[in-house]
Chain A
Amino acid sequence: MSFLRLCVSASRRVESRTQAVGSVFSGSARSASGAPKDQEPLKKAKTPQGRFDAPEKSGDVLEKFPDDVNPVTKEKGGPRGPEPTRYGDWERKGRCVDF
Chain B
Amino acid sequence: MATVRAASRLLSKRVLSNTKAVPAAAVQGSRNFHFSIYGKKKSAKVADDISTQYPVVDHEFDAVVVGAGGAGLRAAFGLSEAGFNTACVTKLFPTRSHTVAAQGGINAALGNMEQDDWRWHFYDTVKGSDWLGDQDAIHYMTEQAPAAVVELENFGMPFSRTEDGKIYQRAFGGQSLKYGKGGQAHRCCCVADRTGHSLLHTLYGRSLRYDTSYFVEYFALDLLMENGECKGVIALCMEDGSIHRFRAQNTVIATGGYGRTYFSCTSAHTSTGDGNAMVTRAGLPCQDLEFVQFHPTGIYGAGCLITEGCRGEGGILINSEGERFMERYAPNAKDLASRDVVSRSMTIEIREGRGVGPDKDHVHLQLHHLPPQQLATRLPGISETAMIFAGVDVTKEPIPVLPTVHYNMGGIPTNYKGQAIDHTNGEDKVVPGLYACGEAACASVHGANRLGANSLLDLVVFGRACALTIAEEHKPGEKLSPLKPSAGEESVANLDKLRFANGSLRTSEIRLNMQKTMQNHAAVFRTGSVLKEGCDKMADVYQSMEKIKTFDRGIVWNTDLVESLELQNLMLNGVQTINAAEQRKESRGAHAREDFKDRIDEYDYSKPLQGQQKKPFEQHWRKHTMSYVDPKTGKVTLRYRPVIDSSLNEQDCAHVPPAIRSY
Q: Which residues of A contact B (CB under 8 A)?
A: 61-62, 73-99
In the complex, B263 has a CB within 8 A of chain A: no
The minimal Cβ–Cβ distance linking B117 to chain A, given in whole angstroms, is: 22
Contact between chains at B163 and A76 (CB < 8 Å) = yes
Task: Report Cα–Cα, A90/B103, bound state, in Å.
Answer: 8
| Interface pairs (13), CB distance under 8 Å | A77-B159, A78-B168, A80-B193, A81-B380, A87-B308, A90-B172, A94-B379, A94-B385, A95-B304, A95-B385, A96-B307, A97-B102, A99-B305
Chain B residue with minimal CB distance to A98? B104
Task: Report Cα–Cα, A73/B191, bound state, in Å.
Answer: 15
Contact between chains at B380 and A97 (CB < 8 Å) = no
Contact between chains at B162 and A82 (CB < 8 Å) = no
Q: Which residues of B contact A (CB under 8 A)?
A: 101-105, 158-163, 168, 170-173, 188, 190-193, 295, 297, 304-310, 312, 339, 378-386, 406, 452-453
4 pairs of A and B residues whose beta carbons are closest in the complex? A98-B104, A93-B381, A94-B382, A87-B309
Contact between chains at A62 and B381 (CB < 8 Å) = yes
The minimal Cβ–Cβ distance linking B484 to chain A, given in whole angstroms, is: 45
The minimal Cβ–Cβ distance linking B632 to chain A, given in whole angstroms, is: 39
The minimal Cβ–Cβ distance linking A39 to chain B, given in whole angstroms, is: 53
Return chain A residues, CB-CB under 8 Å to B384: 61, 93-94
Most buried by B among A84, A97, A98: A98
Return chain A residues, CB-CB under 8 Å to B452: 89-90, 98-99
Chain B residue with minimal CB distance to A86? B309
Decide: A89 near B307, CB < 8 A? Known: A76-B162, A94-B385, A99-B452.
Answer: yes
Task: Report Cα–Cα, A52/B637, bound state, in Å.
Answer: 64
Return chain B residues, CB-CB under 8 Å to A89: 307-309, 452
6 A-B pairs besides A97-B101, A99-B339 with CB distance below 8 A are A77-B191, A77-B192, A86-B309, A94-B386, A96-B295, A99-B305
Query: At the interface, is chain A mostly helix, strand, loop or mixed?
Result: loop
Return chain B residues, CB-CB under 8 Å to A98: 102-105, 172-173, 452-453
Chain A residue with minimal CB distance to B404? A96
Chain A residue with minimal CB distance to B266? A97
Task: Report Cα–Cα, A11/B129, bound state, in Å.
Answer: 92
Return chain B residues, CB-CB under 8 Å to A79: 160, 190, 192-193
Contact between chains at A78 and B307 (CB < 8 Å) = no
Return chain A residues, CB-CB under 8 Å to B312: 87
Chain B residue with minimal CB distance to A87? B309
Contact between chains at B381 and A94 (CB < 8 Å) = yes
Return chain B residues, CB-CB under 8 Å to A83: 170
Contact between chains at A78 and B190 (CB < 8 Å) = yes
Contact between chains at B103 and A85 (CB < 8 Å) = no
Q: Which of A74, A77, A82, A97 contacts B103 (CB 8 A)?
A: A97
Return chain B residues, CB-CB under 8 Å to A97: 101-104, 305
Return chain B residues, CB-CB under 8 Å to A88: 308
Decide: A93 near B103, CB < 8 A? Known: A75-B161, A87-B312, A88-B308.
Answer: no
Contact between chains at B385 and A77 (CB < 8 Å) = no
Contact between chains at A82 and B380 (CB < 8 Å) = yes
Q: Which of B104, B168, B309 contacts A75 (CB 8 A)?
A: B168
Contact between chains at A85 and B310 (CB < 8 Å) = no
Task: Report Cα–Cα, A86/B453, bound state, in Å.
Answer: 15
Task: Report Cα–Cα, A80/B384, bound state, in Å.
Answer: 16
The minimal Cβ–Cβ distance linking A83 to chain B, given in whole angstroms, is: 8
The minimal Cβ–Cβ distance linking A63 to chain B, given in whole angstroms, is: 9
